[in-house]
Amino acid sequence: MYRLGYKQSKNAISYLINNIRGRAIAFDKVNNAIYCSGNKGFYKITPSSIDTIKINDEAFYASKILTFSGQLYALSTKGNFYQIQENKNFTLLNSKFGIPN
């Protein structure tokens, strides 16, 4: 079970379910992380922390999340397809896949 911190009784999954209307979720087996997007933004959940993933210091909203070989990809609610590295570096992939901007 994922926990907020060492020996804390509240687990991260319950905390997010109570406070977010989930839109998309994915598990990254390589990095042992859950990615969750909802009405309050985009989050990375690990056994030791909950981190908010932002684009240009603003909330990011994903309608689809995909992890593949330790890489994170997300389709924003505005229709842009991104590769996200280290929870902060967003690379727009629309032109690579023929998605109009």
**Could you tell me the sign of the dihedral formed by the alpha carbons of 2, 85, 41, 99, in that order?**
negative
pLDDT in tens, the chain (101 residues): 445 555 455 555 545 555 667 789 999 999 999 999 988 889 998 888 888 999 999 999 999 999 999 899 999 999 999 999 987 899 999 988 888 87
Environment class of 40 (CB within 10 Å of its CB; exposed 0-12, middle 13-18, buried 19+) = middle
Nearest to 40 by CA among 25, 19, 64, 63: 19
Complete domains list, the chain, with CATH: 12-97 (2.40.10)
